Chains A and B, each alone.
Chain A
Amino acid sequence: MATNYQSYTLLDFITDEHFKSWVLNPDAEQNQFWHDWLAEHPDKVLVVSQAKEFILSVHFHPPKQTSHPSQELRSVKASVYEKVIRDAQTNPSRPEPVKLFSTRFSTLKIAASVLLLCTLAFLVYQYQHQEAEVPEPHQLAYSAKTTQRGEKLSFALPDGSVVKLNAESELRFASSFESQRTVYLKGEAYFEVERDTLKPFKVVTDQLTTEVLGTSFNVKFSPQDSSVQVAVTSGKVGVSAGRHQEQHYLVPTELLRYEQGVFSKSHFDEELLIGWKDGIIAFENADLDEITQRLSNWYDVDFEIKGQTRVIRKFTGKFKNRNLRHVLEGIGYSSNFTSTIQKNKVIIYVQ
């Protein structure tokens, strides 16, 4: 105890190991030392008594719910002791399991490693297998809705979500959405999804999975070139090309295109792209090819073109709930052609 206590401040005393030890657990030797020391340094009497009192005044509150006041704690202590002794007897000294492991490269270790590898391999296999299984589930009962050319369909799914299926499309889904909400789409559909944060709603199209919690969005999958378009009108949508692939998030007015493994994002015109759900057919700078393709799909007709198609001007405009004759007249007036309708056939005369 040769420490130079003379220069000690209150804080120094409080944090001095020996001093604290003496205050909390005094013994004769230390008592003598401090008695002598204080007699030599009367100016330190105050600070020492303060330090002493500080150390003795620090208490700790048990958490509020403590249910064992000292009296009760004694019986807890005794009962735990009995249980420990009893359990130790019914479970007589396990033959030191520690030793088995401490032997280097024991058979147990090797066995454990092999087991671990096997488990890992199995898990990896299962993991990959699961992913492959997702698009082709067999176990559940499935319903399918299909539309022909010129046909549109609006219906509700088992969870209350509303689907509008565009022409020449197919949507397959489980008759029950109890375990998951997954639908399989070919063609184009507009979804208004009921919110269920526990079960995400998934639209599977060939290589892409579009995942949402509760939003409205349009998915268009063209099997010919296996391109996919996802357009969002409300909420947030995640799109990924596989379970372990990066998710692309979309917010309203955003459009994601997926073509030959490449994603591209842009904004879209709602009427132009998904006006179909409200009976709007809209064109923007559409050439004759696009016009005939859209109209044949919409009205279930075939086209025959007579004359030079190159002279036809591109068309921009929209029609809402109009019949084919009206639409053809409108476009023809602007793009400079005439047409006649014969049953399911439209003949266009380019002037």
Chain B
Amino acid sequence: MEHSSSLTYKKNGSGRQLQMHPDVRSNTPNYRQIFEGQSDEEVWQAYRAGRDDAFSYIYDTYFDSLYYCGCQLCPDTHRVVDLLQDFFLELRLKKPKTDAVLCIKAYLLKSFRRKVIKFLKKDQWLIFNKEVTEGSFTISFHHEMQFMKTQFHEQQQKHIEKMLNQLTPREREAIYYFYFENLSYNNVSAVMGLSSAKAARNLIYKGLSILRKNRHQFPQWLQYCLMLATI
């Protein structure tokens, strides 16, 4: 499928991060071994205590997530890189007041998202530029594991993709954090500034219920479903 170009974000099993750059690794050879098994809370405590290796570990682990998220919000990737540099420099220089962070990824996504949106608001033309909001969080729907038998044939995949992209940007953004970043509802709501985990769930559930409404559009597997249900 044409979507699986090099630009499409890959999901690599559990950790969807890219491999770290050898340069980064050689500077601080141990941090990955040290912090790999630790909980986010412990890593955060180490970082707050001023440990450089904890900072490097956080940088290495979450850079890609923040970069991808920033690119969804702001189409100017060079600007995103500038913002990231600022963001990490601030993180390095002054420790945030929050001392107990249960999910570093959600915490960083939340603060970086705020930073990007603040920047976009300052550059007002970006907000009024239609392509920005229309283009952000565009979903493509396809199965990458070729060897596995797919449940959705190509026609259905295209249809689902079309339906998903008709959702509001907010719904797509929530779907992004939930599926692509594997955040919990609680963290999705924290990142997007929603009132509760329930609000985040409702947002995603409501968005995805278009799949149910359009059941007649994929009759083949529905038939299987009904058959199996009756048995």
Residues in chain A within 8 A of chain B (CB atoms): 9-11, 14-15, 17, 20-21, 24-26, 43, 46-47, 49-50, 53-71, 73-78, 80-85, 87-88, 91, 93-94, 96-98
**For residue A91, which residues in chain B have a CB less than 8 angstroms away from its CB?**
89, 93
A56-B145, A77-B64 given; name 18 further pairs at CB < 8 Å.
Answer: A43-B228, A43-B231, A54-B152, A56-B11, A56-B144, A57-B143, A58-B139, A59-B8, A60-B68, A60-B140, A61-B3, A61-B8, A61-B138, A70-B10, A76-B81, A78-B21, A81-B59, A81-B60
Q: Are B9 and A11 in contact (CB under 8 A)?
A: no
**For residue B21, which residues in chain A have a CB less than 8 angstroms away from its CB?**
74-75, 77-78, 81
A318 to chain B, nearest CB (A): 53
- Which residues of B, 1-37, contact A by the 8 Å Cβ criterion? 3, 6-11, 13-14, 18-21, 23-24
Query: How far, in whole Å, are A94 and B1 apart by their CA atoms in the complex?
Result: 51
Q: Quick check: which of B39-47, B98-106, B114-122, B174-182 contacts chain A, the rest being far away? A: B174-182
Residues in chain B within 8 A of chain A (CB atoms): 3, 6-11, 13-14, 18-21, 23-24, 56, 59-60, 63-64, 67-68, 71-72, 75-78, 81, 84-85, 88-89, 92-94, 97, 135-145, 148, 150-152, 157, 160, 164, 175-176, 178-180, 182, 184-185, 201, 204-205, 208-209, 211-212, 221, 224-225, 228-229, 231
Query: How far, in whole Å, are A66 and B80 apart by their CA atoms in the complex?
Result: 10
Q: Are A62 and B71 in contact (CB under 8 A)?
A: yes
A298 to chain B, nearest CB (A): 55
**For residue B211, which residues in chain A have a CB less than 8 angstroms away from its CB?**
10-11
B153 to chain A, nearest CB (A): 12
Q: Are B77 and A59 in contact (CB under 8 A)?
A: no
Query: How far, in whole Å, are A47 and B151 apart by their CA atoms in the complex?
Result: 10
**For residue B160, which residues in chain A have a CB less than 8 angstroms away from its CB?**
54, 57
Q: Are A11 and B135 in contact (CB under 8 A)?
A: no
Closest 9 CB pairs of A and B: A63-B75, A78-B21, A25-B14, A61-B138, A88-B92, A78-B23, A74-B21, A69-B6, A24-B182
Tell which of B93, B152, B229 touches A94, judged by Cβ atoms closer than 8 Å: B93
B160 to chain A, nearest CB (A): 8
B29 to chain A, nearest CB (A): 14
Q: Are A21 and B142 in contact (CB under 8 A)?
A: no
| Residue of B20, B77, B84, B209 contacting most chain A CB atoms (<10 Å) | B77
Q: Are A62 and B7 in contact (CB under 8 A)?
A: yes
**For residue B89, which residues in chain A have a CB less than 8 angstroms away from its CB?**
83-84, 87-88, 91
B53 to chain A, nearest CB (A): 12
Query: How far, in whole Å, are A74 and B21 apart by their CA atoms in the complex?
Result: 6
Query: How far, in whole Å, are A77 and B85 apart by their CA atoms in the complex?
Result: 9
| Residue of B6, B81, B180, B185 contacting most chain A CB atoms (<10 Å) | B81
Q: Are A26 and B14 in contact (CB under 8 A)?
A: yes
With A17-B185, A60-B140, A96-B94 as given contacts, are A66 and B7 in contact (CB-CB < 8 Å)?
yes
A290 to chain B, nearest CB (A): 56
Q: Are A58 and B175 in contact (CB under 8 A)?
A: yes
A52 to chain B, nearest CB (A): 9
Q: Are A21 and B182 in contact (CB under 8 A)?
A: yes
Question: Which residue of chain B has the shortest Cβ distance to A97 in the bound complex?
Answer: B94
Q: Are A46 and B228 in contact (CB under 8 A)?
A: yes
Chain A to chain B contacts (Cβ below 8 Å), 20 pairs:
A11-B212, A17-B201, A43-B228, A50-B221, A56-B145, A58-B179, A59-B141, A59-B142, A60-B137, A61-B138, A62-B68, A63-B136, A63-B138, A66-B77, A69-B6, A73-B18, A77-B20, A77-B67, A88-B89, A98-B97
B214 to chain A, nearest CB (A): 12
Q: Are B150 and A53 in contact (CB under 8 A)?
A: yes
Question: Which residue of chain B has the shortest Cβ distance to A92 in the bound complex?
Answer: B93
**For residue A88, which residues in chain B have a CB less than 8 angstroms away from its CB?**
89, 92-93
**For residue B139, which residues in chain A have a CB less than 8 angstroms away from its CB?**
58-61
B37 to chain A, nearest CB (A): 13
Question: Which residue of chain B has the shortest Cβ distance to A14 in the bound complex?
Answer: B208
With A49-B151, A80-B84 as given contacts, are A63 and B72 in contact (CB-CB < 8 Å)?
yes
**For residue A15, which residues in chain B have a CB less than 8 angstroms away from its CB?**
201, 204-205, 208
Q: Are B75 and A64 in contact (CB under 8 A)?
A: yes
Q: Are A11 and B208 in contact (CB under 8 A)?
A: yes
B211 to chain A, nearest CB (A): 6
Tell which of B23, B176, B184, B229 touches A43, judged by Cβ atoms closer than 8 Å: B229
Q: Are A73 and B228 in contact (CB under 8 A)?
A: no
**For residue B142, which residues in chain A have a CB less than 8 angstroms away from its CB?**
57, 59
Query: How far, in whole Å, are A66 and B76 apart by their CA atoms in the complex?
Result: 8
Query: How far, in whole Å, are A91 and B92 apart by their CA atoms in the complex?
Result: 11
Query: How far, in whole Å, are A94 and B93 apart by their CA atoms in the complex?
Result: 7
**For residue B7, which residues in chain A have a CB less than 8 angstroms away from its CB?**
61-62, 66, 69
Tell which of A60, A67, A83 touches B176, judged by Cβ atoms closer than 8 Å: A60
**For residue A43, which residues in chain B have a CB less than 8 angstroms away from its CB?**
228-229, 231
Q: Are B63 and A55 in contact (CB under 8 A)?
A: no
Query: How far, in whole Å, are A62 and B69 apart by their CA atoms in the complex?
Result: 9
